[in-house]
Amino acid sequence: MIEQEKIEEILIPENQIKKKVEELGNQISCDYAGKEIFCIGVLRGATIFLADLARYISVPMTMDFMAISSYGISSESSGVVRILKDLDENIENRDVLIVEDIVDTGLTLDYLLRMLQSRKPASLKTCTLLNKVERRKIEVPIDYCGFNIPDRFVVGYGLDFNGLYRNIPYIFVLKTV
């Protein structure tokens, strides 16, 4: 799959991810019992996480995707958020769950929450696989969190570097040259 010399450290192995995704899906199902969830996957990083999570959600659900850019060409968040692809469906009076791959500074999620709240959903919650608390510039509510991780640049399981490594089934720190 990937050459060992590119891996500095495996941060979260595949079996831990699978177990946590199942736990999150079960908790979300309990919390939304009797309701229908409208999941919003934030492209592209959350695609794999949302696909796996959906398999463990037992209540009715639909999904849509948004593409948002806040990084530009560097690995550091610029703080400027652009919507590259908006939702295809209306979320008014719906129970909405934003599914993110990683929450870093909080700037993107804060923008997304404010923008979606203006569309009058019945409820609006967040779910992230990874949470980098150390990098937070603005506090944002995270209702469902997979893992708190240190301030390291990670890839795998949907997260990429120059488009690569999304297909790797674990989270790892990419070795810098």
Tell me: the pLDDT tens digits for 18-57?
999 999 999 999 999 999 999 999 999 999 999 999 999 9
pTM for this predicted structure? 0.91
Write the Ramachandran bin of 34: left for phi over 0, alpha for psi from -120 to 50, otherwise beta. left
Residue 76 pLDDT class (50, 70, 90 cuts) = low
Is 104 catalytic? The answer is yes
Q: Looking at the predicted structure, is the pLDDT value of residue 72 above 80?
A: no
Q: Of 52, 101, 104, 110, which residue is the catalytic one?
A: 104
Residue 1 pLDDT class (50, 70, 90 cuts) = low
Is the separation of the CB atoms in 79 and 105 below 8 Å?
Answer: yes
Q: Looking at the predicted structure, is the pLDDT value of residue 77 above 80?
A: no
Cα(132)–Cα(76) distance, rounded to whole angstroms?
13
What secondary structure letter does DSSP report for 49? H
For residues 66-85, average pLDDT: 70
Cα(143)–Cα(95) distance, rounded to whole angstroms?
13
Is the separation of the CB atoms in 155 and 161 below 8 Å?
Answer: yes
Q: Which domains does the chain have, with CATH numbers?
A: 4-174 (3.40.50.2020)
Cα(125)–Cα(153) distance, rounded to whole angstroms?
26
Tell me: the pLDDT tens digits for 113-167?
999 999 999 999 999 999 999 999 999 999 999 999 999 999 999 999 989 999 9
